[in-house]
């Protein structure tokens, strides 16, 4: 079935003309039409544009000048501005916003021939770990617990991107990750996802949440497919002042390096009291696979791990309160009229933002306000420096770290909704790498006792995504994860 | 540290978010829970630690101070809720 192919397989088949880009795209357009009503993975679908892009890919393939992603159908997180295609950030605030420009990451995917199926669902302004805060409704995780029909969350914030790839209605997708928003949904949906080093992908044209943490990345069903996608998405961009001017290596080649001779660190602080036994078992299995493949396993310490989340929930809301000040009802987005200009701002923002976004803006406003800045924000920035230092010291001893991606498998819609902090704890294993700006990848490694996928996280040195891919590939090969979700194309 | 209702209202005002009185108690409780939880950072010894301000461990790049973009007011105004000619329009702010 065409929808079960990997990107690497499909790209080779398209070059052999086994099938056309139009056929491949039509299969996915039909799959989206059939399943999106239930999954709600896409906020906006663009089938006509997708087929036109597929025709252009077929022409390029025939002419022999096709890019590496020619004819590959992707989902684009609805946080990336796409020229002429509505970009909502899953917020009422931007419900009718049509960008007059294309984000750098998506323009590079288009440059390389990709086909865009539409814009995928997310937590509002990427603030959430369940996709439950979307103003366009929740996303259903394609996976089910054994013997249960309960609707599970796909994780978040990039929940639609992960669910679409898992359900085989897209071959790959883009995401953004501020504290775990690529890695946690990848784990919940049984697919691979990488957040590269901060500065590796341009943030230009991505709706901003927390600018010192936001980083674009990709999802696919295999590590090699993620390598191909990241090769297109990454690269220097003068329009983003934090974009780093370094060459983009051949990531696909890096997946074939193996781990012989590498030193893999196991951070002691990630072994938490009351850890889910399935997660613990899988973590040990992952370490055994790496050892068998020739790596040396080394115990390391990241002593400030336990402060990662609290630090994150000061730094990220502070930056969000500043970034989201732009939504004032004047230049674009929702406007609710008021008695005067201040009243217009206040009514617009009360109506346009959902509860979680308001909470974070208010926390951020408070920790930046006069009299509290030093006690909260400045202290958090200092703890962030200590967290970075933990990683720097660990990477003096090891080449990469292996940890679980999330404390559990997917949970049900409606669970963890009453207490914001219970939701925040989902990101306990992913937030520290975000604070340090280092690359992290989630690889599907097995199923828990309920039949739900679990991921292992590989964390690498800054700008050493190649080692992350090498280690992730060994885990993927050893895990031989072939389970498929209940809801998928062709079922 | 616990926020009283007046402080929650003041934060909402600073954030330019209209807050209905009936929404105040619940929001106050949620914000206090979150602030109580992040209070744990006070136990970390940060003496002499320089704050980390950015995500990349590099100096911000500079570029020549020249115009590199612009000259298309219609595209800029295309999403405006209200406009007057080539300007964004807002309610009267000066009497």
Average pLDDT over residues A107-119: 98
pLDDT at residue B55, as a whole number: 75
pLDDT at residue A401, as a whole number: 98
Residue A469: pLDDT band with limits 50, 70, 90: very high
- Taking 80 as the threshold, does the pLDDT of residue B95 lie above it? no
Q: How far is B6 from chain A (nearest CA, A)?
A: 13
- Taking 90 as the threshold, does the pLDDT of residue A190 lie above it? yes
Mean pLDDT, chain B, integer: 92
Instruction: Please tell me if residue A19 touches chain B, with a CB cutoff of 8 Å.
Output: no
Question: Which residues does chain A have within 8 Å of residue B27's beta carbon, measured at their own beta carbons?
Answer: 358-359, 362
Per-residue pLDDT tens digits for B4-34: 999 999 999 999 999 999 999 999 999 999 9
Residue A314: pLDDT band with limits 50, 70, 90: very high
Residue A338: pLDDT band with limits 50, 70, 90: very high
Question: Which residues does chain A have within 8 Å of residue B34's beta carbon, measured at their own beta carbons?
Answer: 313, 359, 363, 420-421
- Taking 90 as the threshold, does the pLDDT of residue A420 lie above it? no
What's the predicted TM-score (pTM) here? 0.98
Residue A286: pLDDT band with limits 50, 70, 90: very high
Instruction: Please confirm, yes or no, whether A157 is among the known catalytic residues.
Output: yes
Identify the active-site residue in A91, A134, A157, A442. A157
Average pLDDT over residues A177-184: 98
Q: What is the 3-state secondary structure (H, E, C) of chain A?
A: CHHHCCHHHHHHHHHHCCCCHHHHHHHHHHHHHHHHHHHCCEEEECHHHHHHHHHHHHHHHHHCCCCCCCCCEEEEECCECECCECCCCCCHHHCCCCCCCCCHHHHHHHHCCCEEEEEECCCHHHCCCCCCCCCCCCCCCCCCCCCCCCCECCCCCCHHHHHHHHCCCCCEEEEEECCCCCHHHHHHHCCEEEECCCCCCCCCCECCCCCCCCEEEEEECCHHHHHHHHHHHCCCCCCCCCCCCCCCCCHHHHCCCCCCCCEEEEEHHHCCCCCCHHHHHHHHHHHHHHHHCCCEEEEECCCCHHHHHHHHHHHHHHHHHHHHHHCCCCCCCCCCCCCCHHHHHHHHHHHHCCHHHHHHHHHHHHHHCCCCHHHHHHHHHHHHHHHHHHHHHHCCCCCEEEEECCCCCCCECCCCCCCHHHHHHHHCCCHHHHHHCCCEEEEEEEECCCCCEEEEEEEECCCCHHHHHHHHHHHHHHHCCCCCCCCCCCC
Average pLDDT over residues A219-243: 97
pLDDT at residue B61, as a whole number: 84
| CATH code of the domain covering residue A245 | 3.90.1300.10
Average pLDDT over residues A476-490: 96
Q: Is residue A374 part of a domain?
A: no
Residue A290: pLDDT band with limits 50, 70, 90: very high
Q: Is residue A79 part of a domain?
A: yes
Average pLDDT over residues B59-86: 92
pLDDT at residue A164, as a whole number: 98
Instruction: Please confirm, yes or no, whether A212 is among the known catalytic residues.
Output: no
The percent of residues above 90 in pLDDT, for chain A, comes to: 96
Average pLDDT over residues A135-155: 98
Q: Is residue A294 part of a domain?
A: no
- Taking 80 as the threshold, does the pLDDT of residue B56 lie above it? no
pLDDT at residue B62, as a whole number: 86
Instruction: Please tell me if residue A362 touches chain B, with a CB cutoff of 8 Å.
Output: yes
pLDDT at residue B94, as a whole number: 77
Q: Which of A1-5, A272-276, A408-412 has the lowest mean pLDDT?
A: A272-276
- Taking 80 as the threshold, does the pLDDT of residue B1 lie above it? no
Q: Is residue A86 part of a domain?
A: yes
Q: Is residue A329 part of a domain?
A: no
Residue A472: pLDDT band with limits 50, 70, 90: very high
Q: Is residue A15 part of a domain?
A: yes
Instruction: Please confirm, yes or no, whether A202 is among the known catalytic residues.
Output: no
Which residues of A, range 77-116, sit inside 8 Å of B by Cβ? Answer: 96-98, 100
Q: Is residue A308 part of a domain?
A: no
Q: How far is B27 from chain A (nearest CA, A)?
A: 8
Q: Is residue A212 part of a domain?
A: yes
How many domains does chain A contain in total? 1
Identify the active-site residue in A130, A158, A181, A434. A181
Mean pLDDT, chain A, integer: 97
Residue B2: pLDDT band with limits 50, 70, 90: confident
pLDDT at residue A48, as a whole number: 98
Q: Whole domain around residue A90: which residue ranges? A: 2-262+397-479
């Amino acid at each position: 079935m065409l929808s079960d192919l990997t990107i690497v397989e499909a790209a080779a088949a398209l070059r052999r003309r086994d099938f056309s880009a139009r056929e491949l795209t039509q299969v996915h357009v039909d799959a989206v039409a059939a399943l999106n009503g239930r999954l709600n993975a896409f906020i906006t679908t663009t089938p006509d544009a997708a087929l036109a892009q597929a025709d252009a890919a077929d022409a390029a393939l025939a002419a022999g000048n096709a890019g590496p992603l020619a004819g590959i159908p992707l989902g684009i997180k609805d946080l990336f501005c796409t020229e002429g295609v509505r970009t909502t950030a899953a917020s009422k605030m931007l419900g009718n916003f049509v960008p007059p420009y294309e984000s750098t990451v998506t323009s590079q995917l288009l440059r390389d021939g990709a086909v865009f199926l539409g814009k995928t669902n997310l937590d509002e302004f990427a603030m959430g770990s369940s996709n439950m805060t979307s103003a366009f409704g929740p996303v259903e995780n394609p996976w089910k617990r054994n013997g249960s029909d309960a609707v599970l969350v796909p994780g978040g914030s990039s929940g639609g991107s992960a669910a679409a790839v898992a359900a085989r209605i897209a071959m790959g997708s883009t995401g953004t990750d501020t504290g775990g928003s690529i890695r946690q949904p990848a784990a919940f949906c049984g697919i691979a996802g990488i957040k590269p080093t901060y500065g590796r992908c341009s943030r230009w044209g991505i709706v901003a949440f927390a600018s010192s943490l936001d980083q674009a990345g990709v999802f696919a069903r295999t590590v090699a497919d993620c390598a191909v996608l990241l090769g297109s998405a990454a690269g220097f961009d003068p329009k983003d002042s934090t974009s780093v001017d370094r060459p983009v290596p051949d990531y696909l080649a890096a997946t074939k390096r193996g781990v012989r001779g590498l030193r893999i660190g196991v951070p002691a602080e990630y072994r938490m009291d009351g850890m889910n036994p399935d997660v613990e078992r899988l973590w040990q299995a992952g370490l055994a696979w790496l050892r068998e493949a020739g790596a040396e396993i080394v115990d390391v310490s990241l002593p400030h791990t336990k402060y990662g989340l609290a630090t994150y929930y000061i730094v990220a809301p502070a930056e969000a309160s500043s970034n989201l000040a732009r939504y004032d009802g004047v230049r674009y987005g929702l406007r609710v009229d008021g008695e005067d200009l201040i009243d217009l701002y206040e009514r617009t923002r009360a109506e346009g933002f959902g509860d979680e976004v308001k909470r974070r803006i208010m926390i951020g406003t408070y920790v930046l306000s006069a009299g509290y800045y030093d006690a909260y924000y400045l202290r958090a920035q200092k703890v962030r420096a200590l967290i970075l230092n933990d990683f720097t010291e660990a990477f003096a001893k090891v080449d990469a770290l292996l940890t679980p991606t999330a404390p559990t498998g997917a949970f049900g819609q409606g669970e963890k909704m009453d207490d914001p902090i219970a939701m925040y704890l989902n990101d306990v294993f992913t937030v520290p790498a975000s604070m340090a700006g280092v690359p992290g990848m989630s690889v599907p490694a097995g199923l828990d006792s309920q039949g739900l996928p679990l991921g292992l996280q590989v964390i690498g040195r800054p700008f050493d995504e190649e080692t992350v891919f090498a280690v992730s590939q060994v885990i993927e090969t050893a895990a031989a994860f072939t389970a498929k979700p209940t809801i998928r194309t062709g079922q | 540290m616990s926020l009283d209702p007046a402080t929650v209202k003041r934060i909402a005002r600073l954030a330019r978010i209209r807050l209905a009185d009936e929404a105040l108690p619940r929001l106050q409780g949620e914000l206090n829970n979150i602030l109580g939880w992040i209070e744990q950072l006070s136990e970390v010894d940060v003496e002499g630690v320089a704050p980390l301000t950015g995500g990349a461990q590099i100096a911000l790049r500079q570029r020549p101070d020249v115009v590199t973009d612009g000259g298309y007011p219609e595209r800029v105004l295309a999403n405006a809720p209200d406009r007057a000619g080539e300007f964004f329009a807002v309610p009267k702010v000066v009497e």
